[in-house]
Amino acid sequence: MDILGHRKGTAGQGFLENQFLIAMPGMQDERFERSVVYLCAHSEEGAMGLIINQPQQLLFPDLLVQLDVLKEEEAIRLPEPARSIIIRNGGPVDRSRGFVLHSDDYMVESSLPVAGDVCLTATIDILRAISIGRGPQHALMALGYSGWGAGQLEQEIAQNGWLTCPASPGLLFDGDLGSQYDRVLASIGIDLARLSVQAGHA
Task: Render pLDDT for 60-78 as a digit per residue (tens, 0 to 9).
Answer: 898 899 888 888 888 888 8
Mean pLDDT of the chain: 86
Full set of structural domains in the chain with CATH? 11-194 (3.40.1740.10)
What three-state secondary structure class fits 31?
Answer: helix
| pLDDT tens, position by position, 109-143 | 999 999 889 999 998 999 999 988 889 999 999 99
- pTM, two decimal places: 0.87
For 144-178, b/e burial (b = at least 16 CB within 10 A) is: bbbbbeeeebeebbeebbbbebebeeebbbbeeee
φ/ψ of 60, rounded to 5, equals: -60, -45
Across the range 156-178, mean pLDDT stands at 91
CA 52/CA 75 separation, integer angstroms: 24
pLDDT at 26: 80
CA 86/CA 71 separation, integer angstroms: 20
φ/ψ of 101, rounded to 5, equals: -90, 135
* Model confidence band, residue 202 (pLDDT cutoffs 50, 70, 90): very low
